[in-house]
């Protein structure tokens, strides 16, 4: 009876159950169909985006960049990214809970950030391309004026790109590339190093109109340095220039012999630094000697102060150049037509031409200084005509050459504008001394001999760092200054130039005030130098070769001594000092040592052999490619043509 009743109930329930099951099945079919359709749509969009990306890469190749095609590709990519967002809008919020899915969980969790990153990068690229297209449109207006006009008119595009890149950096920061699929991680690895520089480039584009006088005229002080008479920031300031720019137009450019801007009768100049007074007999500190600090921002500030003391307008920035920078400019503009040079002056003749402008033939006087300034003004006027009428192709060639000059410090810049100053400092283009927290070494020569003998000086060195006890690092530095002039001439100090040609001024002993900059907490333990006879010195005072210790620029320590190198001879300076423990870092017996070598502007490359003595049985974990390792010693030979950083990692049980 019970079984029969149960069977009847079962029969009565069957239609309802069938409908329920049928409904569930239909929902599943519809859901699967929807998911399948979405997957088909998403796959199609993914393929379209892949094609968009390939088109962007092809159109943006530096050698064959096609801006109109690039913009079309970026616009299409933005549309496809928006379509993809629309397709996945319902499921995108759920991806945060899908980290458990085998194989693709981390990719699903990262999907919203990856999509947003792609959207903002495409937007930034499109906005920047719009600005560049406007800039390169055919126009008879000179390029500097076009930059001011277009960058001002297109500022809203630059601001949009800046905001998009800012968001892109935030999206990237939220990702963990190591947890993603290798192809995604590899793509992110290529993107990451470009995010910050791209933002800085846009910031520079926003700043450039102001620097070119968009709102008001900008005044710049130019220091023309002669490395044949080497000084801390590149050379003796043989001439100075005053440059005024307004709305991208060069309103005024005047070059003066540096001795002609001093006004001793009306200006109370500050006292000269001790080495200039002790070894050259200089009492006032004047503009031509203003670059005594090897830290260019400090030297530029001193030059600006002395320039204003003489009654000139406060500069908005200071530029220091060497003859190599002039050579770079002529390589870009082409040969220059000059009144006193036939045929036209080409880049290979720059050094000899500039030296010839010095030749007095007769006594040095105001008339000679005026002739020298006239020759430099003629050169500057020809350069101005070429530079302010550059076409885009020439500007593209000039860009990498200027970057190289900034790295070698043949061009140094200091700006009053805080944003510009920060950008220059960030990329180490301002010539600042940068000791940091690692080991640091900068060799600074200063010719204090009233001559051009730096032309004949070669510098070599050996730097040994003893890390056998990593907690107490020890350093030994040996520097050799070799005078390559084969004549043996007496070392007779002369106070002023009288007569003769330029070559005469190079045939002399080398009076060098040598400074070595090292980490702040370094302690001098011992030194070996060569004393200098009193009859060789300006004041007739015997120099015993003492090495003094003082505070250096930007938190460095300074070791200094006077070195006189006779012609056809050499002088060796040895310093032994304890390094601060912070130059070697340790994390669970994994030690890291880093050395930052900074090049002096204008100096011939320093050939330096670096030896790092590691603890016995230390296991190397990282070694620079150019280094060798034998007998627990890492050895590297460096030709210091630009700043260089060396890093060595090793394992050693404490």
Q: Are residues 448 and 571 in the same domain?
A: yes
- Which H or E element spans position 277? helix 274-280
Could you say which DSSP state residue 443 is in? E
Q: Are residues 229 and 206 in the same domain?
A: no
The neighbouring-strand residues paired with 72 are: none
Q: Are residues 120 and 176 in the same domain?
A: yes
In this predicted structure, the answer to whether residue 605 has a pLDDT above a threshold of 50 is yes
In this predicted structure, the answer to whether residue 249 has a pLDDT above a threshold of 60 is yes
Task: Choose the final residue of a domain: 175, 190, 211.
Answer: 211
Task: Choose the final residue of a domain: 164, 194, 211.
Answer: 211
Q: What is the pLDDT of residue 28?
A: 46
Q: Cα-atom radius of gyration of the chain, to the nearest Å?
A: 33
Q: How far is CA 70 from CA 80, 155, 397, in A?
A: 15, 20, 22
Tokens for 87, please give them: 């397709």
Q: How far is CA 280 from CA 110, 258, 512, 645, in A?
A: 67, 17, 11, 36
Q: What is the pLDDT of residue 558?
A: 98
Residue 10 within a domain: no
- The answer to whether the CB of 518 falls within 8 A of the CB of 556 is yes
Task: Choose the final residue of a domain: 392, 426, 460.
Answer: 426
Q: What is the pLDDT of residue 497?
A: 55
The rounded distance, in Å, linking the Cα atoms of 158 and 153 is 10
523 CB-near residues (< 8 Å, 6+ apart): 577, 578
Q: pLDDT tens for residues 424-434?
A: 999 999 999 99
3-state secondary structure 31-53: HHHHHHHHHHHHHHHHHHHHHHH
Q: What is the pLDDT of residue 41?
A: 45
Least confident range from 9-13, 119-123, 444-448, 508-512: namely 9-13
Q: 141: helix, coil or strand? A: coil
- Read off the CATH number of the domain in which 260 is found: 3.40.630.190
The rounded distance, in Å, linking the Cα atoms of 92 and 85 is 8
Q: Are residues 465 and 419 in the same domain?
A: no
Q: Where are the alpha helices (DSSP H) in 60-154?
A: 67-87, 105-136, 143-153
Q: Are residues 116 and 56 in the same domain?
A: yes
The rounded distance, in Å, linking the Cα atoms of 260 and 369 is 7
Higher pLDDT, 633 or 180: 633
In this predicted structure, the answer to whether residue 611 has a pLDDT above a threshold of 60 is yes
Look-up of token digits 């892109």: 168
The rounded distance, in Å, linking the Cα atoms of 86 and 554 is 54
Q: Are residues 150 and 203 in the same domain?
A: yes
Q: Are residues 444 and 390 in the same domain?
A: no
Q: Are residues 192 and 293 in the same domain?
A: no
Q: How many domains does the chain have?
A: 3
Domain limits for position 279: 218-426
| Per-residue confidence band for 308, with pLDDT thresholds at 50, 70 and 90 | very high
| Per-residue confidence band for 461, with pLDDT thresholds at 50, 70 and 90 | very high
Residue 434 within a domain: no
Q: Are residues 311 and 404 in the same domain?
A: yes
Q: What is the pLDDT of residue 95?
A: 79
Q: What is the pLDDT of residue 2?
A: 43
Residue 4 within a domain: no
Residue 512 within a domain: yes
Q: What is the DSSP string of 161-226?
A: HHHHHHHHHHHHHT--GGGS-HHHHHHHHHHHHHHHHHHHHHHHHHHHHHHTTSSS-EEEEEEEEE
Q: Are residues 485 and 375 in the same domain?
A: no
Q: Are residues 453 and 420 in the same domain?
A: no
The rounded distance, in Å, linking the Cα atoms of 168 and 114 is 9
Q: pLDDT tens for residues 156-172?
A: 999 999 999 899 899 88
The rounded distance, in Å, linking the Cα atoms of 186 and 649 is 25
Q: pLDDT tens for residues 549-578?
A: 999 999 999 999 999 999 999 999 999 999
Is the pTM value of this prediction over 0.85?
Answer: yes
Average pLDDT over residues 292-314: 96
Q: Where are the alpha helices (DSSP H) in 388-501?
A: 392-408, 418-426
Q: pLDDT tens for residues 31-84?
A: 444 344 343 344 444 455 455 455 555 545 555 567 788 788 888 888 888 888
| Per-residue confidence band for 609, with pLDDT thresholds at 50, 70 and 90 | very high
Residue 7 within a domain: no
N-term to C-term CA, the chain: 88
Residue 446 within a domain: yes
Residue 14 within a domain: no
Backbone φ and ψ for 512, nearest 5 degrees, come out as -125, 120
- Which H or E element spans position 29? helix 2-59
Average pLDDT over residues 214-221: 94
Average pLDDT over residues 118-139: 85
Q: Are residues 269 and 197 in the same domain?
A: no
Q: State the number of CA atoms in the 13 A half-sphere of 270 facing the CB.
A: 13
Backbone φ and ψ for 412, nearest 5 degrees, come out as -130, 140
Look-up of token digits 């100090």: 493
Q: pLDDT tens for residues 145-155?
A: 888 888 888 99
The rounded distance, in Å, linking the Cα atoms of 478 and 448 is 22
Residue 173 within a domain: yes
Do the strands 584-587 and 411-415 form a parallel or antiparallel pair, or are they unpaired?
Answer: unpaired
In this predicted structure, the answer to whether residue 517 has a pLDDT above a threshold of 60 is yes
Q: What is the pLDDT of residue 13?
A: 46
Length of the chain (residues): 654
With residues binned 3-state (H G I as helix, E B as strand, rest as coil), the percentages for the chain, rounded to 5, are 45, 25, 30
Among positive and negative, which fits the CA dihedral 468, 473, 474, 476? positive
Q: What is the pLDDT of residue 651?
A: 94
C-alpha 609: how far from its chain's center? 24
Q: What is the pLDDT of residue 580?
A: 97
- Read off the CATH number of the domain in which 558 is found: 2.60.40
CB neighbour class for 573 (10 Å; exposed up to 12, middle 13-18, buried from 19)? buried
């Amino acid at each position: 009876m019970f079984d029969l009743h149960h069977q009847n109930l079962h029969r009565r329930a069957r239609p309802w159950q069938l409908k329920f099951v049928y409904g569930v099945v239909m929902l599943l079919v519809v859901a699967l169909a929807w998911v399948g359709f979405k997957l088909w749509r998403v796959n199609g969009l993914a393929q379209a985006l892949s094609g968009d990306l390939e088109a962007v890469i092809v159109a943006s190749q530096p050698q064959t960049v096609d801006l109109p095609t690039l913009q079309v590709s970026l616009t299409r990519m933005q549309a496809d990214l928006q379509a993809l967002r629309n397709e996945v809008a319902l499921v995108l919020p759920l991806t945060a809970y899908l980290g458990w899915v085998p194989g693709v969980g981390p990719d699903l969790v990262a999907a919203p950030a990856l999509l947003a990153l792609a959207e903002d990068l495409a937007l930034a690229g499109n906005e920047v391309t719009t600005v560049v297209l406007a800039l390169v449109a055919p126009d008879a207006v000179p390029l500097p004026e076009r930059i001011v006009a277009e960058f001002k008119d297109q500022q809203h595009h630059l601001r949009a790109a800046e905001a998009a890149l800012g968001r892109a950096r935030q999206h990237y920061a939220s990702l963990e590339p190591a947890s993603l699929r290798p192809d995604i991680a590899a793509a992110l690895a290529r993107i990451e190093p470009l995010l910050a520089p791209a933002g800085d480039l846009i910031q520079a584009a926003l700043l450039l109109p102001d620097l070119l006088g968009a709102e008001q005229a900008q005044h710049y002080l130019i220091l023309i340095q002669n490395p044949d008479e080497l000084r801390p920031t590149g050379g003796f300031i043989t001439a100075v220039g005053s440059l005024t720019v307004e709305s991208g137009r060069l309103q005024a450019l005047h070059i003066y012999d540096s001795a002609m801007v001093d006004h001793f009768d009306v200006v109370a100049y500050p006292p000269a630094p001790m080495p200039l007074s002790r070894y050259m007999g200089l009492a006032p500190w004047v503009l031509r000697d203003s670059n005594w600090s090897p830290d260019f921002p400090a030297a530029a500030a001193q030059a600006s102060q002395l320039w204003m003391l003489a009654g000139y307008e406060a500069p908005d920035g200071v530029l220091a150049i060497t003859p190599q920078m002039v050579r770079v400019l002529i390589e870009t503009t082409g040969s220059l037509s000059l009144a006193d040079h036939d045929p036209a002056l080409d880049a290979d003749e720059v050094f000899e031409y500039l030296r010839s402008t010095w030749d007095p033939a007769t006594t040095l006087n105001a008339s000679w200084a005026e002739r020298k300034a006239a020759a430099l003004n003629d050169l500057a006027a020809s350069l101005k005509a070429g530079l302010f009428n550059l076409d885009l192709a020439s500007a593209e060639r000039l860009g990498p050459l200027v970057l190289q000059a900034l790295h070698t410090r043949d061009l140094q810049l200091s700006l009053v504008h805080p944003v510009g100053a920060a950008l220059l400092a960030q990329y180490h283009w301002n010539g600042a001394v940068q000791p940091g927290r690692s080991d640091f070494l900068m060799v600074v020569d200063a010719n204090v001999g009233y001559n051009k003998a730096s032309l004949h000086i070669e510098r070599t060195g050996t730097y040994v760092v003893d890390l056998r006890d990593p907690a107490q690092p020890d350093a030994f530095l040996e520097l050799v200054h070799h005078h390559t002039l084969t004549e043996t001439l007496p070392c007779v100090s002369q106070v002023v130039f009288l007569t003769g040609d330029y070559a005469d001024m190079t045939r002399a002993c080398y009076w060098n005030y040598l400074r070595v900059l090292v980490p702040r907490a370094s302690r001098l333990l011992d030194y070996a130098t060569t004393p200098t006879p009193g009859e060789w010195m300006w004041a007739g005072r015997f120099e015993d070769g003492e090495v003094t210790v003082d505070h250096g620029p930007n938190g460095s320590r300074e070791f200094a001594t006077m070195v006189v190198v006779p012609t056809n001879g050499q002088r060796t300076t040895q310093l032994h000092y304890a390094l601060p423990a912070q130059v070697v870092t340790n994390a669970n017996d994994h030690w890291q040592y880093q050395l930052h070598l900074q090049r002096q502007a204008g100096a011939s490359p320093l050939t330096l052999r670096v030896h790092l003595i590691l603890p016995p049985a230390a296991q190397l974990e990282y070694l620079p490619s150019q280094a060798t390792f034998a007998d627990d010693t890492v050895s590297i030979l460096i030709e210091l043509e630009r700043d260089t950083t060396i890093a060595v990692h090793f394992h050693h049980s404490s």
